[in-house]
Amino acid sequence: MATTTFAMAQTVNETAPTVLTKTRDVRLDFFRGVAMFIILIAHVPGNWLTLWIPARFGFSDATEIFVFCSGMASALAFGRVFREQGNLMGAVRISYRVWQIYWAHICLFFAIATAMVTLNMLFPDGRDYVGQLNLYPFFKDPQNNLLGLLTLTYVPNYFDILPMYMVILIMLPFVVLLAGINRWLAAGAVIAVWLSASVLDFNFPAEPWSERQWFFNPLGWQLIFFTGFALSAGWISPPRVDPRLFAAAILVVLATVPFAYFRVFNEFTWFLEWRKEWSFLINKTDFGILRYVHFLSVAYVAWVLAGHRGARLQAQNPNSIFGSVWQKALTLILKVGQQSLAVFIASMFLARLMGALLDQVGRTHFSMLWVNLLGGLLIICVAYTASWYKSQPWKSRNKTHAKT
């Protein structure tokens, strides 16, 4: 996907105001599911598995996967509304989703804050879990900070992904409106907003008593969201499968490793100095351009390897032992990817509890293994539970009861 930027937009009916919809692609759910497991691992304090997540070997990480796939999923989820009922109803549908995410964000904060206070009470001589998340400012002045929390002018560390996602969704109807006029106009607007973050340092205040800004600047991260959205909506075409392009993408991924892997750049002064001098190119807050290039390269390699509509992700011989195991594992990963919001919220909460559990049992290779496995099983349970609730089983039961 190294060529899937807005600048590569295809010249197809530039004035078409519609947003296309497609059937769900197994690759979308698979990679989003993988990202959910990585996000869980990455947020567990003192988790040795974080040494092996993609972020250690490249500029981009699971956050890019999550935001890019969210953009693709948004085109599938909301595209039909924009197409059939117009921009106004599309905006209303988006506002409903933002409302859901907003309260998920608020509830997540209070759930984690309550859990951290409880852990401090249970283990008074252990780790300071409230301080670990820098929540003391909230408890010292709850009256003002509660208002800041509800208005998103107080966004504590660890709680900044969902606010970023909300702002991007609010931008979505405007981008769709511009695309209805001219897709290059929409592309220009998206790029201009990204430049406002990366060049002019526009961002949102994270707390009223300091100059700290949101760690995930939505004005920067919307670039990758709308790249995914544009691909899924059919505004731009996916790149062709080309051995030369595939080789170039692999070269970018491999060339990035010395600049990203800490064991390398800490040993070689040149790499370390480069990171310091050119940090704005890989800045995570404003979504530095090399993060974009790296992610698109990784995504293109994954896209090619997965095969047409993810054919290679399926077990080639499902009757064999390996094929049967892989097919079952694939089913679990897909389910997690399909319920990414519920899983994400649960993983952010569970990660703190997993860290506290490791504090109590000790961080050995065995304990790391079973605690991470336990966390993985729990988010799988969350995914299936969320799916069950969304199926509205009470309605099917009522229909059965009515027939009898």
Sequence letter at residue 298: V
Q: Give the pLDDT confidence score for residue 396 in this predicted structure.
A: 64
Helices (H), 123-160: 129-132, 136-140, 142-151
* Total length of the chain: 404
- Residue where the block lists tokens 């064999």: 320
CA atoms within 13 A on the CB side of 5: 14
Q: Where are the domains of the chain?
A: 6-32+70-326
Tokens coding 90: 């599309």
CB 116 within 8 A of CB 133: yes
Distance in angstroms (rounded) separating the CA atoms of residues 60 and 359: 29
- 285 Cβ partners below 8 Å, 6+ apart? 203, 213, 214, 215, 216, 217, 220
- Residue where the block lists tokens 């009898």: 404
Q: Give the pLDDT confidence score for residue 398 in this predicted structure.
A: 57
Does the pTM surpass 0.85? The reply is yes
Reading the chain (404 residues) residue by residue, the pLDDT tens digits are 444 444 434 433 333 444 544 556 789 999 999 999 999 999 999 999 999 998 899 999 999 999 999 999 999 999 989 999 999 999 999 999 999 999 999 999 999 999 999 999 999 988 999 999 999 999 999 999 999 999 999 999 899 999 999 999 999 999 999 999 999 999 999 999 999 999 999 999 999 999 999 999 999 999 999 999 999 999 998 889 999 999 999 999 999 999 999 889 888 888 889 999 999 999 999 999 999 999 999 999 999 999 988 888 887 777 788 888 989 999 999 999 999 999 999 999 999 999 999 999 999 999 999 999 999 999 999 999 999 999 988 886 655 555 54
Q: Give the pLDDT confidence score for residue 267 in this predicted structure.
A: 86
Tokens coding 316: 């080639």
Of the candidates 154, 148, 112, the one whose C-alpha atom is nearest the C-alpha of residue 133 is 112
Distances (CA, A) of 119 to 44, 141, 287, 326, 355: 15, 21, 35, 38, 11
